[in-house]
Amino acid sequence: MENIGIETTQNVDINYRIASLGDRIIAQILDTLIIAGYLIATILLWIYLNNNFNNSPFYYPTAIIIILYLPVFLYDFLCEVFLNGQSIGKKMMKTKVVKIDGTQPGIGSYFLRWILKPIDVFLTYGSVGLITMLINGKGQRLGDLAANTTVIKIKAQVKLEDILVPETKETYNVVYPQASVLSDSDIQIIKEVLNHRVETNTFVYQNLIDKTKERIAMKMGVEPDSNGIRFLNTVIRDYTHLNSN
């Protein structure tokens, strides 16, 4: 599986695995099954409404059809907007839509992917999307090229307690009060970097740690610990403690 380097807002390049073609096809099949289940449910509901409310003055069949089938039409767009770049199928396959430049995809990016999906997948039986993905080498179909996005394979979310030894408020002493200037996104990047050990060799991982340490220390205006992993773990502890009070 190919990798793609995405630069974070801290100018740290993190390599992610591009979602394989198989992952994307299975995610699409799962989404299709979900949509099919929804359609069956709406057909049964439609039959029930026709049988019981057909003579009601408040029964507007056209409006009901639009309301019932609009979620099907907008399924991919709505899912990616409200599920942070994932449909239900993508969640099950642990894949996600991300911007190649490291910024957060917005509604415009998701809209471009959605509006071009019929050309990529449905109208051409997937041939346009497949050929585009094979040519550009970054896992991008036509909609991704337009939106500057791709689909990556994500790891299971790592909880803070999985990385750090818990400290009580009463016993913990803050080492770097300057950690208060950091943002939640800074801390998330640090956790991503620390958890990247399983996906990179030792040399690459150490370079990633050192670069992150330098950027975070510069933002905090402190002299970092020589041990990058220890420094970054301490920063997370301090930030968590300072923001829990």
In tens digits, the chain (245 residues) has pLDDT values of 566 666 555 555 666 788 888 899 999 999 999 999 999 999 998 888 888 887 777 777 888 888 889 999 999 999 999 999 999 999 999 999 998 887 889 999 999 999 999 999 888 888 888 889 888 878 899 999 999 999 988 865 545 444 454 454 567 788 999 999 998 888 888 888 887 765 556 777 788 888 889 989 999 999 988 898 899 999 998 888 888 75
pTM to 2 decimal places: 0.65
Instruction: Please indicate, yes or no, whether residues 75 and 190 belong to a single structural domain of this protein.
Output: no
- Same domain for 185 and 147: no
Indicate if 164 and 84 belong to the same structural domain. no
**What pLDDT does residue 201 have?**
60
Do 169 and 210 lie in a common domain? yes
User: Could you report how far apart the first and last alpha carbons of the chain are, in Å?
Assistant: 44
What b-and-e string marks burial along 158-186, b requiring 16 or more CB atoms within 10 Å of the CB? eeeeeeeeeeeeeeeeeebebbeebeeeb
Domain boundary among 124, 153, 182: 153
- State the virtual CA torsion across 226, 224, 186, 158 in degrees, nearest 10: 30
Q: Give the separation between CA 232 and CA 160, rounded to whole angstroms.
A: 12
Handedness of CA 137, 142, 145, 151 (dihedral sign): negative
Which has the closest alpha carbon to 21: 29, 10, 32? 29
Work out the burial of residue 225: count CB atoms within 10 Å of its CB; fewer than 13 is exposed, 13-18 middle, 19 or more buried. Answer: middle
Residue-number span of the structural domain to which 93 is assigned: 3-153
Q: Residues 129, 68: one domain?
A: yes
Residues 88 and 184 in one domain: no
Radius of gyration of the chain measured on its C-alpha atoms: 23
As a dihedral over the C-alpha atoms of residue 117, residue 118, residue 120, residue 126, rounded to 10 degrees, the angle is: 120
Domain end marker among 125, 153, 181: 153
Same domain, 100 and 181: no
pLDDT for the residue 5: 60
Structure confidence at residue 62 (pLDDT): 82
Are 39 and 146 within one domain?
A: yes
Res 165: pLDDT: 46
Report the 10 Å Cβ neighbour count for 98: 21
Do 188 and 117 lie in one domain? The reply is no
Rounded to whole angstroms, how far apart are CA atoms 160 and 42? 42
pLDDT of residue 168: 47
- C-beta separation of 141 from 128 below 8 A: yes
Separation CA 113–CA 142 (nearest Å): 8
**By CB neighbour count within 10 A (0-12 exposed, 13-18 middle, 19+ buried), where does 89 fall?**
buried
Closest CA to 28 of 104, 133, 99: 133
Considering its fold, how many domains does the chain have in total? 2
Q: Both 123 and 55 in a single domain?
A: yes
d(CA 184, CA 84): 16
Kindly give, in sequence order, each residue whose CB lies less than 8 Å from that of residue 196, ignoring residues fewer than 6 positions away: 14, 15, 205, 208
Residues 73 and 142 in one domain: yes
Give the pLDDT score at 166. Answer: 47
Q: CA–CA distance from 222 to each of 16, 58, 101, 227 (Å)?
A: 30, 68, 28, 14
In this structure, the answer to whether residues 176 and 106 fall within a common structural domain is no
Final residue belonging to a domain, choices 137, 153, 169 = 153
Q: What is the pLDDT of residue 36?
A: 95
